Amino acid sequence: MLKTQVAIIGGGPSGVLLALLLAQEGIAVTVLERASRVHVLARIRAGVLESTTVDLLHRAGVGERLGLEGKLHRGTGIAWGHEQTYLIDSYAATQRYFTTYGQTAIQEDLYAAAEARGLTIHFDVSDIEIDGLTDNPRIRCQIGQHTHTLACDFVAGCDGFHGISRQAIPNDILKTFERTYPFGWMGVLSETKPLDDIWYVHHADGFALASMRNPKLSRYYVQCPADDRLEDWSDDRFWETLLRRFPSHLAAQIETGPSIEKSIAPLRSFVAEPMRYGALFLVGDAAHIVPPTGAKGLNLACSDVYYLWRGLTQWYQEKDPHWLDAYSPTALTRVWKTVRFSWWLTNLLHCYPDQTPFDLKTQESELASITESPAGRQWFAEQYAGYPIEDWG
Ligand code: APR
Ligand code: PHB
């Protein structure tokens, strides 16, 4: 039988960041990832990092390339009503910058650090089963041709929304809360010079967003019907839709070019409670999903990682369960505030299929009210820059 202290299911950003932080404390970890390394690295996700996320990556010793290549931003742009634009200066409001740096690059940095430190990540692991969560935690799984049993003290469920960890919590204990949205985001990556800032655009035809990965790589999105297929979206149709939704002075600055990646993402809000059952702790997308408006998914995963790292370290170093017992309620408090912000920003900026001209006018008026008011800008900035992490030591 194999043995470890913390078995980590899932080798995405949550799983590997947690593994690196725990290993730094001398805690034995084993990471089990269902997909191949190539598959994980091919996923294109968001790329906006709160300052606490950046700090945590530095603490894990994976901040070097991020420090060199990440771009610091003082604020974010919002546009509506064809020509109205406002740059919300979140630095002035919070004294915190945020950074654009792609999740794919973070995943590369995490894998490189794991390799450099001799921390093995098992890829292509199948048939994972979790047992004994209330008395004798065990994981059974298939690695290559062999079936293994792994004995551990704790299991970190970092296996994303479609993982199996959440299902290990009995139905009479697990509560889930969900909202799906009747639209998706059609996203394009292109080797073109991005705009200087991130722009969120409200338009009567639907939402649009300009973002970036590096000085030569742009990421753009347009709202599309939830059941649209990729074949419906030629590059020409995408650019034409994007440019029509952007205010003309910004559209004039957007460089278009061939797409190098295209995808349609559904929008969903989801929370599972509690985030702990016996020896199992849910982390990141395994416990919650936010729509991408506001780019909070990865940042929320990182605050979970921080809380669990703090709890497990205190447990192993001092045999004190205080922070481990506080994990689920503490993480959920921050999760719900962030879920609320992402839901609110999604409602404010998107066009619903049954939307009336009245709804459109109230959205535009809300955008004007927020940006005209110092208190409104402050409130928006605090949430966009990210809620503080409790006891951020
Ligand atoms: N066994 C092992 N691994 C699994 C299993 C399973 N049964 N099911 C899923 N996985 C793996 C997936 O292949 C994936 O690599 O778990 C990983 C989960 O990674 P993510 O889905 O990226 O979730 P997480 O690590 O929590 O990352 C935070 O927040 O909003 C998002 O874009 C953001 O992906 C980011 C996420
Ligand atoms: C991205 O860069 O992909 C991005 C930026 C901001 C968002 C969502 C995604 O709100």
pLDDT of residue 392: 75
Q: Is 296 a catalytic residue?
A: yes
Q: How many angstroms is it from 277 CA to the middle of ligand 2?
A: 32
Question: Is ligand 2 within 6 A of the CB of residue 292?
Answer: yes
Give the single-character DSSP code of 103. H
| Rounded-to-integer distance, Cα 313 and Cα 45, Å | 30
Q: How many angstroms is it from 310 CA to the middle of ligand 1?
A: 21
Within the chain, which residues score under 50 in pLDDT? none
Nearest of 125, 166, 123 to residue 148 by alpha carbon: 125
Question: Following DSSP, what letter does each residue of 26-81 receive, concatenated?
Answer: T--EEEE-SS-HHHHHT-----EE-HHHHHHHHHTT--HHHHHH-EEES-EEEEET
Q: Does the reported pTM lie above 0.95?
A: yes
Question: Is ligand 2 within 6 A of the CB of residue 295?
Answer: yes
> Could you say which of 220, 292, 306, 327 is catalytic?
292
Q: How many angstroms is it from 152 CA to the middle of ligand 2?
A: 37
Question: Is ligand 1 within 6 A of the CB of residue 285?
Answer: yes
Question: Is ligand 1 within 6 A of the CB of residue 11?
Answer: yes
Question: Is ligand 1 within 6 A of the CB of residue 304?
Answer: no
Give the single-character DSSP code of 354. T
Q: CA torsion sign, 325 to 302 to 209 to 220?
A: negative
Nearest of 92, 96, 100, 104 to residue 72 by alpha carbon: 100
Decide: helix, strand or coil at residue 345: helix
| Rounded-to-integer distance, Cα 242 and Cα 187, Å | 11
Strand partners, 282: 157
For ligand 2, atom 3, the nearest C-alpha belongs to 46
Helices (H) and strands (E) in the chain, counts: 12, 21
Question: Is ligand 1 within 6 A of the CB of residue 32?
Answer: yes
Q: Is 200 a catalytic residue?
A: yes
Q: Is 73 a catalytic residue?
A: yes
Q: How many angstroms is it from 222 CA to the middle of ligand 1?
A: 25
Which ligand has the shortest distance to the CA of 212?
Answer: 2
pLDDT in tens, 237-289: 999 999 999 999 999 999 999 999 999 999 999 999 999 999 999 999 999 99
User: Residue 115, Cβ neighbours under 10 Å: how many?
Assistant: 11
Residues 6+ apart with CB under 8 A from 17: 56, 57, 60, 62, 110, 302, 305
Q: Is 292 a catalytic residue?
A: yes
Q: How many angstroms is it from 128 CA to the middle of ligand 2?
A: 32
For ligand 2, atom 7, the nearest C-alpha belongs to 295
User: Residue 60, Cβ neighbours under 10 Å: how many?
Assistant: 23
Cβ pair 120, 11 in contact under 8 A? no
For the chain, the structural domain boundaries read: 2-52+99-177+267-351
Nearest of 69, 65, 144 to residue 100 by alpha carbon: 69
Give the CATH number of domain 2-52+99-177+267-351; options: 3.30.70.1710, 3.40.50.720, 1.20.140.10, 3.50.50.60.
3.50.50.60
Question: Is ligand 1 within 6 A of the CB of residue 109?
Answer: no
Q: Of the residues 45, 88, 198, 338, which should be mutated to test ligand 2's pocket, given the most ligand atoms within 8 Å of the CB?
A: 198
pLDDT of residue 393: 66
Give strand ranges (E) for 252-380.
259-273, 276-277, 280-282, 288-289
| Rounded-to-integer distance, Cα 67 and Cα 260, Å | 25
User: Residue 342, Cβ neighbours under 10 Å: how many?
Assistant: 24
Q: How many angstroms is it from 295 CA to the middle of ligand 2?
A: 5
pLDDT of residue 100: 97
| Rounded-to-integer distance, Cα 192 and Cα 174, Å | 45
